[in-house]
């Protein structure tokens, strides 16, 4: 009798709902990013520029410094030089395709160098907050932050030979301060959280706590910062090339603008097209950065 009553009671009690598994935060961020139409457009534009710059020179294999037609041929007239020629008679379209590779390469490598320096110094300064070592790193960051970045890059490239390596290093060592301050703030926020204290309690070394525990949880805002650093590096490279402080033997969009700036009124297309290319590329990277910011920031996901 009691067994029958027990079975009846169990039948009337609703079973516990299955445990709800939290969605992977990276997958959720990717899903939220794909919902952002402007960010997706920026990503498609960036992919188009990358594919065009990497593959098209092999499909359209000519020397960007080679004379292709009469100087200052207007665009959309001659089929062989669809975007016209510059003041020397070089094909503007060919220069754009080859210049895109150099511009993207310098921007990406300089941004990687900038983020590496910024994350390293910011992580150490934030983790060892209160130590003299942290104060020293903070003073170094403040020193570089108050320096005019473009002027400092000009000094570095002027002291050494203006090669792509020199330009890339110069851009990287003058643009890391924002990433360093962001990383330091993230480490100050996370270093006393429960799972970090648990790692300390089990005797984990500082190196493991910094690079394997705190840094992975501080990555989302740093990814956004790294994305925007690429756009900043591209603008720096264009500025240095415009001023004649880049490698004159490597075609880039900034070099195109700088070499034709004296003919801007009579040969406007040689300046306008690379200028538009820089504008569109940096805008696309900014849209991607905004999309990543919204995707990784829970407070902005429902915006």
pLDDT at 300: 54
Give percent of the chain above pLDDT 90. 32
Does residue 149 form part of some domain? yes
Does residue 74 form part of some domain? yes
Does residue 293 form part of some domain? yes
Does residue 198 form part of some domain? yes
Burial class (CB in 10 A: 0-12, 13-18, 19+), 286: middle
Q: Which residue is it, tokens 């504008």?
A: 279
Does residue 280 form part of some domain? yes
> What is the extent of the structural domain holding 53?
38-300
Q: Which residue is it, tokens 């407070």?
A: 299
Q: Which residues contact 174 (CB under 8 A, 6 or more apart)?
A: 144, 147, 149, 150, 152, 153, 156, 236
Give per-residue burial for 48-80: e unless 16+ CB within 10 Å, then b: ebeebbeebbeeeeeebeeebeeebbebeebee
Helices marked H in the chain: 2-12, 25-35, 37-59, 92-127, 132-146, 149-159, 164-174, 177-190, 194-201, 206-208, 215-242, 253-259, 269-296
pLDDT at 23: 59
Q: What is the pLDDT along the chain (303 residues), one digit of tens a residue?
A: 444 444 444 444 444 444 444 557 778 888 888 988 999 999 999 999 888 888 876 777 778 888 888 999 999 988 888 899 999 999 998 899 888 888 899 999 999 999 999 999 999 999 998 888 888 998 999 888 888 888 888 888 888 878 888 999 999 998 899 999 999 999 999 988 888 889 888 988 988 999 989 998 888 889 888 888 998 899 998 888 888 888 888 888 989 998 888 888 888 999 999 999 999 999 999 999 888 888 887 555 554
pLDDT tens figures, 29-67? 888 889 889 999 999 999 998 888 888 767 777 788 888
**Angle at the Cα of 59 from the Cα atoms of 54 and 64, rounded to 5 degrees:** 75
Does residue 22 form part of some domain? no
The domain tally of the chain equals 1
pLDDT tens figures, 205-253? 988 999 989 998 888 889 888 888 998 899 998 888 888 888 888 888 9
Does residue 126 form part of some domain? yes
- The pLDDT mean for the chain works out to 85
Does residue 86 form part of some domain? yes
Residue 132's CATH number: 1.10.3720.10
């Amino acid at each position: 009798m009691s067994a029958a009553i027990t079975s009846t009671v169990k039948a009337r009690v609703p079973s516990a709902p299955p445990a709800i598994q939290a969605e992977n935060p990276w997958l959720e961020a990717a899903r939220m990013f794909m919902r952002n139409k402007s960010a997706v457009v920026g990503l498609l534009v960036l992919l188009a520029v990358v594919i065009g710059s990497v593959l098209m020179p092999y499909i359209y294999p000519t020397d960007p410094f080679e004379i292709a037609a009469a100087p200052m041929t207007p665009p959309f007239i001659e089929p062989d030089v669809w975007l016209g020629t510059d003041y020397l008679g070089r094909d503007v379209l060919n220069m754009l395709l080859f210049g895109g590779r150099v511009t993207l390469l310098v921007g990406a490598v300089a941004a990687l160098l900038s983020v590496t320096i910024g994350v390293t110094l910011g992580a150490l300064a934030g983790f060892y907050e209160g130590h003299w070592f942290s104060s020293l790193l903070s003073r170094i960051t403040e020193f570089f932050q108050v320096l005019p970045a473009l002027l400092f890059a000009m000094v570095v490239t002027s002291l050494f030979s203006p090669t792509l390596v020199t330009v890339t290093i110069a851009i990287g060592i003058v643009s890391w301060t924002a990433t360093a301050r962001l990383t330091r703030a993230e480490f100050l926020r996370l270093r006393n959280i429960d799972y970090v204290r648990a790692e300390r309690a089990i005797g984990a070394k500082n190196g493991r706590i910094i690079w394997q525990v705190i840094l992975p949880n501080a990555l989302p805002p740093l990814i956004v910062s790294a994305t925007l650093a690429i756009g900043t590096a591209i603008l720096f490279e264009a500025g240095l090339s415009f001023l004649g402080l880049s490698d004159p033997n490597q075609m880039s969009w900034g070099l195109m603008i700088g070499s034709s700036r004296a003919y801007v009124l009579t040969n406007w297309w040689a300046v306008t097209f690379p200028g538009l290319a820089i504008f569109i590329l940096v805008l696309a990277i900014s849209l991607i950065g905004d999309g990543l910011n919204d995707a990784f920031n829970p407070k902005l996901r429902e915006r």
